């Protein structure tokens, strides 16, 4: 019997923002300015997979959202990919944890890849609630450009789904209705790329959900679920990822 494939995980630093602390930790650190990374993930195994596509600065979506955003030349997603040894053309599959502006901004870098998102997320993004329209760059929000995830190669799945041997997406709603996390089989066990179901290690260690969510109870349930399914959880916006180096991390 052939051995099941294992994967390596790389985190790419693709820019920096400053946000208000309670965006990351619900009702905690209110009024504090917190610097966060914008992270893209690369999975390498039998094929090459990208998880989330970071910020596209066209039209200044960060200003539209009231956030700062800075990026060096090295942090441009295409450049960060190439520095990690990956050409966008090598990528056969892109997984979007959700469709917010900072996670789904550069889908056009991967016209030949299949881009996978939960069906529930697409349904909500088409007609989001009034408070959350800006985050999706919805036409109803006043955003003047097409949302960056409106591409012909977008593919939907329903529920838990193995997208490649050893890589499985699982619903992790709460931050958004159709958020998903990614379970990745590595030599060190099963890792979970949590998306914004877990923005920082504080969410896990202090048992509190991210502050930006549509459903706080669903957010807590998703944290519990991810704890039960993986040996290590990787948050979406925590610089200690790069300091602790739990996986192969690529920075400029």
How high is the mean pLDDT of the chain? 93
Q: What is the CATH number of domain 8-246?
A: 3.60.15.10
What are residue 100's phi and psi, to 5 degrees?
-65, 160
Q: Percentage of the chain surpassing pLDDT 90?
A: 90
pLDDT of residue 246: 47
- The predicted-structure confidence for 94-143, as pLDDT tens digits, reads as follows 999 999 999 999 999 999 999 999 999 999 999 999 999 999 999 999 99
pLDDT, one tens digit per residue, over 174-199 is: 999 999 999 999 998 999 999 999 99
Among 11, 90, 37, 101, which Cα is nearest to 65's? 101
Write out the two tokens for 65.
Answer: 């959202």
Q: What is the dihedral of CA 239, 242, 243, 245, to 10 degrees?
A: 140
pLDDT of residue 249: 41
103 near 115, Cβ under 8 Å? no
Give me the residues paired with residue 191 across strands.
184, 232
Q: What is the mean pLDDT of residues 151-166?
A: 97
List 157's β-bridge partners, or say none: 118
pLDDT of 2 reads: 54
Nearest to 173 by CA among 100, 231, 121: 121
From start to end of the chain, where are the E strands?
Answer: 8-20, 33-44, 48-51, 93-95, 114-118, 154-157, 161-164, 167-171, 180-186, 189-193, 232-234, 248-250
Distances (CA, A) of 10 to 20, 39, 116: 27, 10, 19
């Amino acid at each position: 019997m052939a051995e099941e494939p294992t994967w390596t995980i790389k985190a790419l630093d693709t820019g920096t923002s400053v946000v208000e602390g309670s965006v990351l930790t619900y009702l905690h650190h209110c009024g504090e300015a917190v610097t966060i990374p914008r992270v893209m993930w690369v999975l390498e195994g039998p094929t090459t997979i990208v998880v989330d596509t970071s910020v596209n600065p066209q039209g200044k979506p960060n200003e539209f959202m009231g956030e700062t955003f800075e990026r060096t030349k090295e942090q441009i997603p295409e450049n960060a990919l190439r520095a990690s040894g990956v050409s966008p053309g090598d990528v056969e599959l892109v997984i979007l944890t959700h469709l917010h502006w900072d996670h789904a901004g550069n889908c056009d870098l991967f016209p030949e890849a299949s881009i996978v998102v939960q069906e529930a997320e697409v349904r909500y993004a088409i007609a989001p609630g009034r408070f959350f329209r800006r985050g999706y760059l919805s036409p109803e929000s006043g955003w003047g450009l097409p949302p960056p995830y409106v591409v012909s190669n977008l593919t939907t799945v329903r529920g838990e789904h193995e997208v490649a041997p050893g890589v499985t997406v699982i619903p992790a709603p709460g931050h958004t209705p159709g958020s998903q996390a990614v379970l990745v089989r590595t030599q060190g066990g099963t890792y979970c790329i949590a998306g914004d179901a877990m923005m920082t290690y504080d969410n896990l260690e202090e048992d509190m959900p991210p502050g930006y969510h549509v459903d706080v109870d669903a957010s807590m349930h998703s944290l519990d679920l991810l704890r039960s399914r993986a040996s290590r959880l990787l948050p979406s916006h925590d610089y200690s990822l790069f300091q602790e180096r739990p996986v192969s991390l690529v920075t400029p």
